[in-house]
A and B are shown apart, each in its own frame.
Chain A
């Protein structure tokens, strides 16, 4: 199969997943125990207001018809109105999403800066003291609850050393970046162990392959063996892993935005859960899933370009 065919097949495969995701998100409101309208209104539920919400959400129509409306609105990017804020969900969500995506971008950058040198060092100096320190440190950072890590980083860098802001997002791009450093570092400490472990293993595997032995036998300098042959091949699974980790990353932002009071889509999701603002919960859940699907697709496509050995089977 050609690359074009492969990409086309991946796109077709995506369709049932997309439909399934929209069905789950659509059904969320219907799975609320009791009357969803009453649940959304909470203490303010009266017969009149419940009837109004029923009408607004189309809850009085048959299920398939509701789903049809839901999908039609989705196609026009209409995500409903927030019950709490009384404005269209899209107007809040997309603004908040920019914060979350910036956080993801800074996190990815930091993770690469941390993982690359440590993974390479751990592999080159296999079984050395350094390798053991890196590996045992990773075992610890991997099981640290991210919000706890965040609190410790705040105690250390913001309260003790007074280097970085405790929380918030600032008001201009430079301040935004400064406010994102600690949250991004927090998520990185959870993600980097996975990448470093994978990078170390794939470098060690590459060392054992025949073409590396050939390159060395040819008398190539160790430095160029490392950069030209080993790294190029060892990086491929690592990049893929980073792409696959987007779910972990997006999930991480939800908790970390709460720790650092960042006005992102994740903290919007949590606040909306507490406020029973279901249209926002639905929309945020949907957007998170769509982002994961898109990034996974992009990873597969990029992978098919960077690794010539990929078989489109």
Chain B
């Protein structure tokens, strides 16, 4: 049994056993992973939004009197080659990177869910066509395909969204397909069909609510992946352009001063790592929460 199938059968068990367990919010509050993860991400969001209040410095305006200064009390993350406060730029970067991660995950999630559901529910030619396209997209290394699309459309974060939408839906399509393949043989679905419910009604009212959870869990880790991707594209010169304080762009700017000013490239990376850990904890916590009791 593949992991995807295992998760599919696991969540069908979850439905059966849900009634005998404490309510979900009760278990959510007791899930340490989930709570720590949520706190980390909320903190990151708050830091991003409150950056103008929290920091006395501008993220963009150069100050040539303090160029390349090591971390100190007035500049905890040091300053860069233009005398800008690195911590301030990292704080403003939270706005960009969190938005990029969350925005990027939406379209593959929606496209993948629709195509995967269509493939599983209707089977036959529809399924064959969707699954063959999926095989083809998956033959390319993810980053190579993203780079190829960005090469065609031109650099920039907006084109990254398009590239991600075109390529990353395959994971969601696979997930939802394997879930629906399990669920569509269940009695409640057959009963709904027998009572004359339309395909759309069966799909939206009955199948979707029971199959979407594993995709939601996966999307948390995926947000982290897109933050890494946006950072990598900036590094390759295909993402955010200077002076945008995107975290990857900050690391890249600092790389040139690696030997003399270690803080410029290392400290912005810490923000990415903390955000990534927060999102993985939320993902782990959610999957524990949705896993059937006793396993």
Residues of A within 8 A of B (CB): 16-17, 20-21, 24, 28, 31-33, 139-140, 142-148, 151-152, 154-155, 159, 247-248, 250-252, 254-255, 258-259, 269-270, 273-274, 278, 281, 284-285, 288-289, 292-293
Contact = CB atoms under 8 A, between A and B. Distances in A.
18 contacts: A20-B136, A21-B139, A140-B277, A144-B269, A144-B276, A145-B235, A147-B235, A155-B262, A247-B141, A251-B142, A254-B143, A255-B235, A273-B150, A273-B151, A278-B151, A285-B140, A292-B139, A292-B141
B160 to A, nearest CB: 13
A144 B273 contact: yes
B269 A145 contact: yes
B265 to A, nearest CB: 5
Contact of A273 (B238, B259, B272): B238
B259 A148 contact: no
Contact of B248 (A144, A145, A252): A145
Contacts of A21: 136, 139-140
A258 B251 contact: no
Contact of A251 (B141, B154, B255, B272): B141
A292 B140 CA distance: 7
B228 to A, nearest CB: 5
A148 B272 contact: yes
B136 A17 contact: yes
The SS class assigned to the B binding surface is helix
A90 to B, nearest CB: 18
Contacts of A31: 152
A255 B258 contact: no
B147 A17 contact: no
Interface string B99-117: 0000000000000000000
Contacts of A154: 258
A250 B144 contact: yes
A258 B135 contact: no
Interface in B238-295: 238, 248, 251-252, 254-255, 258-259, 262, 265-266, 269, 272-273, 275-277, 279-280
Interface of B: 132-133, 135-136, 138-145, 147-148, 150-154, 224, 228, 231-232, 235-238, 248, 251-252, 254-255, 258-259, 262, 265-266, 269, 272-273, 275-277, 279-280
A41 to B, nearest CB: 16
Given A139-B277, A254-B143, A155 B258 contact: yes
A9 to B, nearest CB: 14
A255 B150 contact: no
B265 A288 contact: no
Nearest to A252: B143
A151 B139 contact: no
Contacts of B143: 251-252, 254-255
A254 B144 contact: yes
Given A254-B147, A269-B144, A281-B151, A148 B135 contact: no
Nearest to A29: B152
Given A33-B153, A292-B140, A28 B232 contact: no
Given A21-B136, A147-B252, A273-B151, 19 more contacts: A16-B132, A20-B133, A21-B139, A24-B136, A28-B148, A28-B151, A143-B275, A148-B266, A151-B251, A151-B265, A154-B258, A250-B141, A250-B144, A259-B235, A270-B147, A273-B147, A278-B151, A288-B141, A292-B139
B259 A159 contact: yes
B26 to A, nearest CB: 25
A274 B147 CA distance: 11
B266 A255 contact: no
A269 to B, nearest CB: 7
Contacts of B150: 273
A148 B152 contact: no
A289 B140 contact: yes
B141 A145 contact: no
Contacts of B273: 140, 143-144
Contacts of A16: 132, 135-136
**Which 7 residue pairs across A and B have the least CB separation, nearest first?**
A143-B276, A20-B136, A251-B143, A148-B269, A251-B141, A273-B151, A247-B141
Nearest to B281: A139
A146 B262 CA distance: 17
Contacts of A151: 251, 254-255, 258, 265-266, 269
Contacts of A17: 132, 135-136, 139
Contacts of A293: 139
Contact of A143 (B151, B255, B258, B280): B280
B132 A147 contact: no
Contacts of A144: 269, 272-273, 276
Nearest to B274: A143
